[in-house]
Amino acid sequence: MLRNNIKINTQFNYKYFSLFSFLTSFLLISLYLPCYADKPPRTELIWYQYAKSYKNLKDVKEDLKKGILVHPPKFFEELNIVNKGVGDIDPENASYYWSAKPGTLGLMLFVAREFKLRLKNPEAELPVSGLLRTLEYQNILSCYNNWADLGRSTHTNGATFDITVHPLFMHNDIKKIDTLVLILRELHKKGEVYFIDEASNSCLHVCLHPDYEEKYAEIYYNIAGEYELSSSYAHNRTRFKPFKEPDEIREAISKGTLLSLLKIREKLSANFCFPENYGEDYYSLRPETTALLMEITERLKKDLGKEFLLPLSELIRTYKEQKEIVKSDPSLPLDSPFVYGAAFQIDASKLCQTEISLLEKHLQELSSSNDIIFIKKRINKYDVAMKACAIPKYNIAYQKNIASLKEKSFNSISFRLELKYLYITIVMLLVSLTGLIIHRFYRLRQIIKRIKKMKRKKKVRIKKSELVIINAANTMTVIKD
């Protein structure tokens, strides 16, 4: 009996225990499964599964020297792209974590530009709370951040950044947060980025697709080039002054600060294909920039023949015009080299592929010699600007080449002026001679009239030699007049 009771009890306990455990596990799964189901798939890890991850700061320093990783330049602060806690776990080396691949920084610039345009606020701030991390840093962070992956993360590839939407920085501005989320979701749909809205962490996680690294790296380098040139001329404001109005351009041409390419030499325009819908004053550049333009043209003519025409789409612009451009693209600087007459734009859309490749070759040579910076636009145009350090070199070139052309043109102008005065003198002489002849004829007419009046009273006989009057006494009186 005892044995039977024990068997019954064990069977009874086993059944209820198994039932209880089954129900408990079912409840746990039903509670936690939706949380895991809501998490987006981590396709970003698949994108970078074979890419290099930075194990420690030694790897980071090596790639910074090679240029694979770059620090955000100073103009990021001007654009209000602000570091908010990047590298806080390792404050002594925090500057190394404030770096990324050029494409990642280009994406950051693109997002900041769209953010400002949509808010219509050029001063809108983009607070960045996460950028580059090493595997060591990531493992420490994962101990107290539930969203941080244990082990490998795309932050360790230098391809990801986090935007904080914490109330401390966004001030609970729903419009700003919604605008950012909308921009990132649009990029996510295009497949250019992988976006996670880490709402519980007050963070927006953005990872760049490796296929779009080149596209956004080009954006970064173009904007960096614009700011490099801007700073070089802006620091020399005592020497270079921007042209605010078209009247200032005309005044600079009259003073010789700018050279009008149309007035320097008649045949100079044959070297270029000038842009349309611009006034004559806009076909002008600084003397040294003109020398640079002539050098590029001569190089291309040697390769392509003397009949080659270099198509230009822009030479100079006013400060007001630059402001309008910055309104449409807030990532650009106000102090562009175009407002100083120190840059020009080549329209490569009018060139064939061979001509474009030769143009790029010569521009690259000049860039490597630290003379110029050229920026290739996506609309197939090249912005070429001279570095401030190359101005003395091209000033000498101007003195040798352009000045001689200018003297010849002025000599021809002075010769024309001399001929002009000669023509005026001849005309004046002819006019005075004609006036004298008319005066003589007028006097002769007066004499004839007087004779006709006297003829009524007296007989008049006119001889060939002189005019006489015969009176009643038959004496001859000579008419003096």
Flag whether 204 is in a domain. yes
Higher-confidence residue of 363 and 198: namely 363
Flag whether 404 is in a domain. no
Mean per-residue pLDDT for 367-387?
Answer: 85
| Range with the poorest average pLDDT among 30-34, 162-166, 220-224, 439-443 | 30-34
Residues 26 and 86 in one domain: no
Residues 309 and 283 in one domain: yes
Residues 55 and 96 in one domain: yes
Residues 70 and 122 in one domain: yes
Flag whether 84 is in a domain. yes
Mean per-residue pLDDT for 253-258?
Answer: 85
Higher-confidence residue of 271 and 147: namely 271
Residue 426: predicted pLDDT = 85
Residue 281: predicted pLDDT = 82
* CA distance linking residue 119 with residue 173, whole number of Å: 12
Taking each helix axis from N to C end, the angle separating 213-234 and 102-119, rounded to the nearest 10 degrees, works out to 70
Residue 75: predicted pLDDT = 92
Asked if the model's pLDDT at residue 60 lies above 50, the reply is: yes
Residues 179 and 84 in one domain: yes
Containing structural domain, residue 26: 1-38
Residues 171 and 264 in one domain: no
Flag whether 148 is in a domain. yes
Flag whether 33 is in a domain. yes
Residues 249 and 379 in one domain: yes
Residues 281 and 250 in one domain: yes
Q: How many domains does the chain have?
A: 3
Residues 59 and 140 in one domain: yes
- Among residues 382, 398, 414, the one where a domain terminates is 398
Residues 50 and 83 in one domain: yes
Flag whether 151 is in a domain. yes
Highest mean pLDDT (candidates 143-147, 160-164, 336-340): 160-164
Flag whether 480 is in a domain. no
Flag whether 403 is in a domain. no
In this predicted model, what pLDDT tens digit does every residue of 343-356 receive, in sequence order? 898 988 888 899 99
Residue 454: predicted pLDDT = 76
Residues 70 and 30 in one domain: no
- Among residues 398, 420, 450, the one where a domain terminates is 398
At residue 465 the predicted structure's pLDDT band, cuts being 50, 70 and 90, is very low
pTM, 2 dp? 0.71
| CATH code for position 103 | 3.30.1380
Token digits for 32? 């936690």
Residues 255 and 350 in one domain: yes
